[in-house]
Structure 1
Amino acid sequence: MSVTRAEYCVIACAEAWRGAGEVLASPMGVIPSLGARLARLTFAPDLLLTDGEALLVRPDGTPEGWLPYRQHLELVAGGRRHVMMGASQIDRYGNQNISAVGDWARPRRQLLGVRGASLNTLNNPTSYWVPRHSPRVFVERVDMVCGVGYDRAAALGAVSRFHRLVRVVTDLCVFDFGTPDHSMRLASLHPGVSVEQVREATGFAPAVPDEVPRTREPGAVELRLIREVLDPAGAREREVPEGARG
């Protein structure tokens, strides 16, 4: 059975919550949301999902509990949330920018603003989803720091004791930060993607092991859940169109 690039991305996002236990998943984007729901249905049954407002929900969206704002903040402050955010820019240490591109006094692009990125990264495990891997996103130095990377977290001392960046998933590959200085490392390649393609699409030199594994293929049950239960309308293929890469 043929597996699309988008479906590999769903699996790669789902794996971010493997072994997470009873934590609140906060995925941002179609494919991260599918990944979190798939993880809950398969290998992460204790994962908490939310409707983004005041309810805990099952993977099909039906309510299973109440999550008032105060309790939500308690989960955040207590490190019991794993958020998967987007990034307009991200550097080798995981510093993320979603606020502005260009000089702060006169930016070329005004974006979302800092929002909760800094507290997300200091209080909770954080991952990132980048649907279009390019040197414009993966930069040597972000124009503004919104989400805190490992180099800046180290300089903050005890304030950053809960800081942990888990992975960065893109339409080409998966990165982690498993190097001595916590700089970005190529953890897996999606099928059809080469190391050279990743290097060309990245504005800095990531660490590359001698042997880079392939992103794991979804099993038959996982594919059925993705295609028939979680996303029968195929929204995943619009976020990562097949044939757009590789």
Structure 2
Amino acid sequence: MKHYRLSWMMALLAAITFALPLAGFSAAPKGASMTDTTHASGAAGGADTAVDTGAGHAGGGHGAAPLLPSTAHEAQEFFLTPAIWTIVIFLIMLIILYPMAWKPVLAGLKAREKRIRDDIAGAEASRKRAEATLQEYDAKLASAQSQIREMLAKAQADGEQLATSIRMTAQKEAEEAKDRAMREIDASKNAAVGEIYNQAAELATNIASKILRRNLNADDQKQLVRESLDQLQTIK
């Protein structure tokens, strides 16, 4: 509503400013005709005056030319100039409409400038908040990446440690199994050798007792040896 009223006032000012000089233009020919009539009358009167004052010019010299009519005519033409009326009317309308038109215009310009400054300040604040948020996000991302690298390094170290422990445990168990097998083999071997020794000693004792109980010829000795060997094969 204020903008509509302001536009209407400015249009009225422009219309009045351009209308009054046109009125001055229309009034100018009348002034010119009156001036021409005055000039004609002045010319006639001048002729009569020249006749009346001829003797005066001849006897007393030249008289002073009248300046007031010419000065009044120039002043009248000056004030009837459209440019002068345009300037005067514009200044009058400017003084009249200044409280109603220019003050609202200036107030609107100041309000618009304030709004633009507020928008710029708001945009700057938003930009700073966005930069702060971005920096915070970058910091969190860097921290997360560091934590991920630490977790991966720890997992790799734990995996290597577990693999080393498994290899050492397997190697230890293999060595223990080997030692147990060797001990069992040695024990079995010793038991077998001891059994063989016992059987051989028993066989030798039997052979000796048989030899002592009877007199043996060569064939009996051979037969006794064969029987002893057969018994030894049976023990194995």
Report the TM-score when normalising by structure 2. Answer: 0.15
Bigger Cα Rg: 2
Q: 1 or 2, which has the higher helix percentage?
A: 2
Q: Name the TM-score, length of structure 1 as normaliser.
A: 0.14
Q: Tell me which of the two structures has the higher relative contact order, counting C-alpha pairs closer than 8 angstroms and 6 or more residues apart.
A: 2
